[in-house]
Structure 1
Amino acid sequence: MSTLTALARAEAVAAGRAQPIATVRHLHVHPDPLVLVPVVMAGEPNAPLAALAGRDRAAPRLLVVAQPRNRDLRFAFAAELAEIVVGYAESHIGPSEAVAVDRGRDVRHRYLDAPQVWVPNPGGVDFLRLFGRSTRFRRTDGDHPVPPAVPLLGRWLTFLATQAEVPGSALLVAATQALALHWATGQSSAEDAQLGALLGWIDPGPLTGPEAARRAEQLPPAGPATDPDFDNRVLAPLLSAGADPADALRDQLLPTWDLMWRAVDLLRALPPGARVAGRWDADRDAFSGYVAHLRDTGTPQPRRDSAVAAAARLHRLENVQARYAAQRAFDDPLVMAEHRLTGEAFEGVVTHAKADRVDDTGKRPVLRPRLIVRTAEPVRASAGTALTCPDRPSQKATVISVTPAGDETDVLLELSGGMGRKLVAEPGSVPAVGDTVLYTTLTEAYRPGGAFPEPDRTPWTHGGPPAPPAQPTPAEAAEEWA
């Protein structure tokens, strides 16, 4: 927990309601999301029991597995869920736009929209990942065939769960994580995992946050696990008697359904950050690419990545995480304040500036203005460190020296880029004396990918070349579905 978040939690306790830790919304909220509230059978994390799903808050659709241990009923549930999820995803396959790539030498096409699925918490994301893994390899012919939509559902769920690991992605959103990104409550992080209690602090109505949270604790869990008391008193007798548990499960899921739409409304009311649209463009790219894959070969995702694929994916996620952290800070002064406290960023006043300085020590003269920024904030940067100004993200500032000035610090910076192509800086491209500026070590600049060997040249220390992609076998189709 960061210093400012800890302070916000203390203020939430004093005020009796959650405190904002963001001034803008840091994720895209779709105008027409699909809300999905799954629950599983106790003790079996991949045995679906029911799900409440839909795009209309007034008309949710309930899917129930009357006997969760019955393989045929579970696949029937998967087929019904596929009708909703796959149908929703495919409804966004429509008009596309041309996007320039390779510095304008080529173009690719990207759909104008993409799906967005909301689940209550990270447990819901984990369930979709497991459910996708258990369905994407199923056969639609031979012994024990499944409905044709089942393996396609598994591939879509795996795609969504994989994208949920990408920092800043909004294709699959866990409501508790999205809310906790924008508000700090007066309860623990473990208690924030309870959607009702979290919303009680954020939007308590006439009550205080603690009162609303205590009232929310009386609601059924938000899944995917069910309430043990409900399991013992209500669900077990119904399943043992072979009765339909639909009405009982609907009563358990409807409170969470209402909470989900409250969460969507609260987040939608926040103004979006300037860079949210760019991250949604990346989501649309991922969606468009996966649709193209399904139309091309349609092969399911592998059970596990090869050594090279895993290393490349980890490297890519690290780059995305660094860029996402920078974008959040550039969009939001409250987030940037965290970095100012740690010395990763500092704000100060320009006391000296030489905007027309030219460096002629190289083969040709280049414009290299210098300026001195005086700051009272901690500065962790040393000579040679590259800094970025959020107001001038295309301009690079290199630290030349850091000099104490009484209780303050003078930082001498040399600027490059973002000033035009001439030896005279364009007006406004160089800070003037008296300007208040902020510089940080964070950057959203492109980072090149790492150098990895071809898969067939994987060294023996990492398992050697991967085996050919496995195909589902009749034995796999006949095995127990768990």
Structure 2
Amino acid sequence: MSTLVALARAQAFAAGRAQLIATVRHLHVHDHPFVLIPLAMAGEANAPLAAMVGSAADKPRLLFVAQPRNRDERFAFADALAAELVPYLTSFAGDTEAVAVDRGRDVRHRFLDAPQVWVPNTGGIDFLRLFGRSTRFRRVDGDYPVPPTVPLLGRWLTFLAGASEMPGSALLLNAVQALGMHWATGQSGAEDAHLASLMAWIESGAAAAREAESGPVAGPATDPDFDNRVLAPLIADGDPALPAVLHDLLLPTWQQMWRALALLRRLPPGDRVAGRWDGDRDSYSSFVEHLAEGGGPQPRRDGAVAAAARLQRLENAATRYAVQRAFDDPLVMADHRLTGAAFGGVVTLANPDRVDDTGKRPVLRPRIMVATTETVRVEAGASLTSPARPAQKARVISVAPTTTGWDVLLELSGGMGRKLVADPGTVPLVGEELLLTTLSEAYRPGAAFPDPTETPWTHGGPPAPYEEQQPA
């Protein structure tokens, strides 16, 4: 937890109301999302009990399993869920746009939009991941066949669950995490995982949150008292009242989900949200193409090389997402200013036409002086970036103390055009307020991984050749 978030939590506790910790929305909220609230039976590993699904707030659809221990009923539930979810997911596979790649030397196509699925909490994502794993390998013929929609549903759920692991992705989102990124409450992080309590802190305050804690849970696990007192007798007796009970249990969460979406829509999107959604559209387009070409289901587990490559992609995405959030949001950047990773100041001197001719050819290298009253924890030679000019690098030449703070001399490179005269507006002018940080959106190249066949047998490669020793 950062210093400012801790302060916001203290203020929320004192005021009895959640505090905004973001000035912009850091995720894409679709105009037509799909809400899915899964419910699992306690004591049975990922056994589906019910789900409330739909893409319209006034049209919830309840799916349920009368006997979760019955295999046929489980797959009938999967078939019904596929009938609701898969048409929504594939409805965006229509018109495409051309995207230049390889510096304009080639073109690829992606769909103009992509789906977005919302669940209440991280447990809902885990449920979908496990449910996808249990359905994507099922056979549609032979012994114990399932409807053809079941393995297709499993592939889609596995794709969405995998996308949810990518920082910044918005294909599969959970409400408590999205709200917690933008509001701080006066309760603990564990208590924030209760959607009703979190929503009450934001909408009404602490008193309403205390009342909401005793309300119905958002799944996927049910309340033990509800299981013993209500659910178990209904299932054991095959009571026809079961659907009505489950509907009443899930309806409050359904309503809270749509109110959460409305709350998030009130915040303006960050400047870099659209770019991350473009990446989601790329991912969606690739998966649709994979299915259209008859591609097989995702493997049960990654090989050593594939796992290492995926881990690196996740790490790079996490770093890039943290930087983009800071560049989009002054409140997020304020945390970095407190730690010395960023500082703000005013340009006091500027030499925009300076040319460095000490190398083989002259290059444009303007210099500026920035005066700041903030603590500066960078040394000569460090590379800085300004969110206002992310393509430009500022190398620290010197840091000199003054009576009011520090004077930082910087040499600029990049983002000024290809001539020896800087394009207008590319070099900060005297009097301009400038924010500088060690954070950077610069491209991080991937590591060179070996071919899977060249890894040792301990990591999935071929066994070492056995040489039979000859007797002496």
Equivalent position of 1:472 in the other structure: none
Q: Which moved more, 1:254-263 or 1:215-224?
A: 215-224
Structure 2 unaligned runs (5+)?
464-472
Matched, 1:385 2:382: yes
Q: Which letter maps to 1:282?
A: G
1:45–1:127 CA contact under 8 A, matched in 2: no
Residue 205 of structure 2 corresponds to residue 220 of structure 1: no
Which stretch shows the higher mean deviation, 140-149 or 351-360? 351-360
- Could you say which residue in structure 2 is the equivalent of 1:82? 82
Task: Name the counterpart of 1:419.
Answer: 416
| Counterpart contact for 2:120–2:175, Cα < 8 Å | yes
The corresponding residue for 1:125 is 125
Partner residue, 2:331: 334
SS of residue in 2 equivalent to 1:319: helix
Report matched runs for 1:102-181 at 5 Å: 102-181=102-181
Distance 1:455 1:381 in 2: 42
How far did 1:317 drift? 1.1
Tell me the equivalent position of 1:433.
Answer: 430
| AA of the residue aligned to 2:188 | S
The secondary structure found in structure 1 opposite 2:49 is: strand
Distance 1:81 1:428 in 2: 54
TM-score by length of 1: 0.94
Find the aligned partners of 1:427 and 1:240 in 2 and give their Cα distance: 76
Contact in 2 for aligned 1:54/1:84 (Cα 8 Å):
yes
Tell me, yes or no, if the aligned pair for 2:135 and 2:151 is still in contact at 8 Å.
yes
| 2:363 aligns with one of 362, 366, 387 | 366
**Contact 1:35/1:260 (8 A) holds in 2:** yes
Q: How do residues 23-422 of structure 1 correspond to structure 2 at under 5 angstroms?
A: 23-204=23-204, 209-244=205-240, 245-422=242-419
**Structure 1: how far apart are the matches of 2:356 and 2:368?**
14
Number of residue pairs aligned between Structure 1 and Structure 2:
462
Question: In 2, distance between residues paired with 1:2 and 1:326?
Answer: 15
User: Are 2:303 and 2:459, in contact at CA under 8 Å, matched by a contact in 1?
Assistant: no
- Name the SS of the counterpart of 2:410 in structure 1: strand
Question: Is structure 2 residue 409 aligned with structure 1 residue 447?
Answer: no
Q: Distance in 2 between matches of 1:285 and 1:15?
A: 44
| CA drift at 1:193 | 0.4
AA paired with 1:58?
D
Please report how far the alpha carbon of residue 461 of structure 1 lies from its aligned counterpart in structure 2 after TM superposition.
4.9
Runs of 5+ unmatched residues, structure 1 = 467-482
**Partners in 2 of 1:210 and 1:327 — Cα distance?**
32
| Contact 1:324 1:444 survives alignment (8 Å) | no
Question: How far has the Cα of 1:75 moved from its partner?
Answer: 0.3
**CA–CA distance in structure 1, aligned partners of residues 462 and 112 of structure 2:** 39
Matched residue of 2:100: which SS? strand
| Cα distance in structure 2, aligned partners of 1:120 and 1:45 | 20
Give the whole-Å Cα distance in 2 for the aligned partners of 1:406 and 1:457.
61
Deviations 1:115-138 (CA, angstroms, capped at 9, x unpaired)? 100000000000000000110000
Contact 2:64/2:77 (<8 A) preserved: yes
Whole-Å separation in 1 of the counterparts to 2:277 and 2:146:
34
**In structure 2, C-alpha distance between the alignment counterparts of 1:380 and 1:449, rounded to whole Å:** 29
Distance 2:45 2:89 in 1: 25
Shift of 1:43: 2.0
Q: Is the 8 A contact 1:274 1:331 kept in 2?
A: yes
Letter in structure 2 aligned against 1:376: T
Q: Which residue of structure 1 lines up, in the alignment, with residue 469 of structure 2?
A: none
Deviations 1:194-247 (A, max 9, x none): 00100111111xxxx111101211210000010111111111001111223211
- 1:108 aligned partner, one-letter code: R
Q: What is the DSSP-based 3-state SS (H/G/I as helix, E as strand, rest coil) of the residue aligned with 1:63?
A: strand
Query: CA offsets, 1:402-433, max 9 Å, x none?
Result: 22224512222110011111111122211122
Post-superposition offset of 1:281: 0.6
Distance apart, 1:381 and its partner CA: 2.0
Shift of 1:298: 2.3
What SS does the corresponding residue of 1:382 show, helix, strand or coil? coil
- Give me the whole-angstrom Cα distance separating, in 1, the residues matched to 2:6 and 2:13: 11
* Identity rate, percent: 72
Alignment match, 1:477: none
SS class of match (2:37):
strand
Aligned-residue RMSD, C-alpha:
1.2
The 8 Å contact of residues 346 and 432 in structure 2, kept in 1 or not, is answered as: yes
Q: C-alpha separation between the residues in 1 aligned to 2:376 and 2:311? A: 31
Query: Is contact 1:27–1:168 with CA below 8 Å preserved after alignment?
Result: yes
- Give the Cα–Cα distance (whole angstroms) in 2 for the partners of residues 59 and 335 of structure 1: 37
Report if aligned partners of 2:452, 2:460 keep a CA contact under 8 Å in 1.
no
CA distance in 1, matches of 2:375, 2:39: 49
Q: Which moved more, 1:420-429 or 1:330-339?
A: 420-429
| Deviation at residue 462 of structure 1 after TM alignment | 3.0
Moved more, 395-404 or 246-255: 395-404
C-alpha contact (below 8 Å) 1:79/1:150 kept by paired residues: yes
> Which whole-Å CA distance do the structure 1 matches of 2:186 and 2:462 have between them?
51
Contact 1:12 1:186 in 2 (8 A): yes
SS of the counterpart of 2:419?
coil
Shift, 1:383, TM fit:
2.1
The Cα of 1:360 is off from its aligned counterpart by 0.5
Classify the secondary structure of the residue corresponding to 1:235.
helix
SS at match of 1:79: helix
Q: Using the alignment, how far apart are the partners of 1:307 and 1:465 within structure 2?
A: 13
d(CA) in 1 for partners of 2:119, 2:462: 38
3-state SS of paired residue (2:425): coil
